[in-house]
Amino acid sequence: MSVCSNNRPCPCTFDCPRHGRCCECVAHHRDNNEGVPGCFFSTAAEATYDRSIEALCRDRGINIQG
């Protein structure tokens, strides 16, 4: 998994060696319970570094209160 052919620009602003290496990014977040990768969020929400599913739902206007 050290080579990733995905060379899309990474919008995540966190200082991280996995920028642009989406497969490593997703695996890292999954394996370390770090929530949702930054590229799923809007620019404003990404900048808060809250990677929770709740933050993602707020950002996307999804009501999870039931």
Contact call for residue 12 and ligand SF4 (CB under 6 A) = yes
Are 49 and 35 in contact, with CB atoms under 8 Å apart? no
Spatial separation of the C-alpha atoms in residues 17 and 52, rounded to whole Å = 21
Are 26 and 6 in contact, with CB atoms under 8 Å apart? no
Contact call for residue 14 and ligand SF4 (CB under 6 A) = yes
Binding mask 24-63 for ligand SF4 (x = CB under 6 A): -x--xx-------xx-------------------------
Length of the chain, in residues: 66
Residues that bind ligand SF4 in the complex, under the rule CB under 6 A = 10, 12, 14, 16, 18-19, 25, 28-29, 37-38
